[in-house]
Structure 1
């Protein structure tokens, strides 16, 4: 494995870590950066390249576990949240209810999505439509959201956020963009919607990643281990930075600046593709 290839792994880990939990679509950025610039399939076969993307996604998930370990442990009874009565706090069943819609659709349409929707062209569409949803959330969500903490989320809200999360199955739409927007429109403040998004991300992303890893295990080549490790560590470190920064920022700037960025990015990519 050459130094330039390790550098490409670090760059892709950076892209994954910095965009996975921001409402800008990590999948979209990965497709754009890899397909239009780095082209990892020039030195990895398609199966190994797909496996690498799963590995760096696991690095991002580990960062979420580090940031939210208390809340995640409380869901399974391994930690007691302070100043919250056990009967009033967010429960594992809230998370499960939120995961069901996208989880079911993802399993049913996984092959169709993988074969037909992973391209720069479809990402442009997802970026633009997702941006309009985010702008709508900022402008039509309640000015004084009734839900200020995770422990006030109802099962109905969790399920409705899960339904809106289904849009993120389209590459470029952004899972966090969809769920945060949905949460805000349903009465959650921006920070609470973001927290719920990150917590839901752990089981669904971990489950999907491990399934993909098992399916592609035979394509892992010992010669590529350094490439995988570099990408994993890069994604973990930059996701840790991104999550902490984003959680401090989201309550102040809301979603519209991210939506504007998405639209500009879509215009740039469309220009590269069609001009």
Structure 2
């Protein structure tokens, strides 16, 4: 069985970065190579701890999910007369899920430090563009999202299939470019995360469940719990700060990380 400290480290990385616009997949690839945690077992482990991060979203947004399924109080209609519903979520997740299903093998081949660096830089530039050239806000709140905006965000989510680009970064930036507020785009991103990550993780588990054995239960369980707890804290904090923090701050972090990785690859190597 792998050392538990590796489980804790990867769990922290996943929980902390999954819903921040910095690319959790990219971070796990980089950290996994740095601590020599790669291979089929590592791939299965990453799927399991992603489910821990998904659980954090369900816990924080359970009231909203009840509303989406018609089990909660929808309250007063928004000024635009449009309220977020399951069709918005469906429109937002189909483009990326369809692309991922068709190009799954090709996408997996991109999971290496070199491609992560490219994704970090290009994704950071995309977020800067969104901050500097976004149009006037037409959808201030989550319930003001239109189907057209949801589709635009969904198409942009395809970019996140490149490791290092970031699902939340691409979708929040796309939402802003489509005329939504930063906060509304972030909320929509968090809601889309549950079905798209469940679908992706479920598919990967079916493909790789043979890599999981009873001997690894403690290792996997520790990573799952750590990922859940860290993601719970990260999402709750990000929700509060997203209206104040510009995406450019995360872009600068991505650029610095890309430089550090390049230097590390040159001096030490993965």
* TM-score exceeds 0.5: yes
Q: Runs of 5+ in structure 2 lacking a partner?
A: none
Does the CA contact (< 8 Å) of 2:111 and 2:163 recur in 1?
Answer: yes
Shift of 1:72: 1.4
The aligned residue for residue 113 of structure 1 is 107
The aligned residue for residue 39 of structure 1 is 36
Does the CA contact (< 8 Å) of 2:7 and 2:220 recur in 1?
Answer: yes
For residues 261 and 30 of structure 1, the distance between their equivalents in structure 2, rounded to whole angstroms, comes to: 16
The aligned residue for residue 78 of structure 1 is 71
The equivalent position to 1:27 in structure 2, one of 15, 25, 41, is 25
Matched, 1:67 2:60: yes
The aligned residue for residue 173 of structure 2 is 181
Shift of 1:150: 1.2
Tell me the alpha carbon deviations over residues 215-262 of structure 1, each in whole angstroms, 9 at most, x when there is no partner.
Answer: 211221111100000000000000000001111111101201000000
Does the CA contact (< 8 Å) of 1:55 and 1:228 recur in 2?
Answer: yes
The aligned residue for residue 96 of structure 1 is 90
Q: Runs of 5+ in structure 1 lacking a partner?
A: none
Does the CA contact (< 8 Å) of 1:27 and 1:172 recur in 2?
Answer: yes
**1:1-275 matches, cutoff 5 A:** 1=1, 5-36=3-34, 38-41=35-38, 46-84=39-77, 88-114=82-108, 116-142=109-135, 144-275=136-267
Does the CA contact (< 8 Å) of 2:82 and 2:145 recur in 1?
Answer: no
How many residues align structurally? 265
Shift of 1:273: 1.2
For residues 8 and 98 of structure 2, the distance between their equivalents in structure 1, rounded to whole angstroms, comes to: 33
Does the CA contact (< 8 Å) of 2:89 and 2:192 recur in 1?
Answer: yes
Tell me the alpha carbon deviations over residues 120-176 of structure 1, each in whole angstroms, 9 at most, x when there is no partner.
Answer: 00000000000001111111113x512111111111110011111110000000000
Tell me the alpha carbon deviations over residues 57-78 of structure 1, each in whole angstroms, 9 at most, x when there is no partner.
Answer: 0000000111111111211112
For residues 102 and 166 of structure 1, the distance between their equivalents in structure 2, rounded to whole angstroms, comes to: 5
Local SS of the residue matching 1:253: coil
Does the CA contact (< 8 Å) of 1:21 and 1:176 recur in 2?
Answer: yes
Question: Normalized against structure 1, the TM-score is what?
Answer: 0.93
Q: Where do 4+ consecutive residues of structure 1 move more than 4 Å?
A: none
Question: Normalized against structure 2, the TM-score is what?
Answer: 0.95
Local SS of the residue matching 2:83: coil
For residues 192 and 106 of structure 1, the distance between their equivalents in structure 2, rounded to whole angstroms, comes to: 25
Does the CA contact (< 8 Å) of 1:180 and 1:190 recur in 2?
Answer: yes
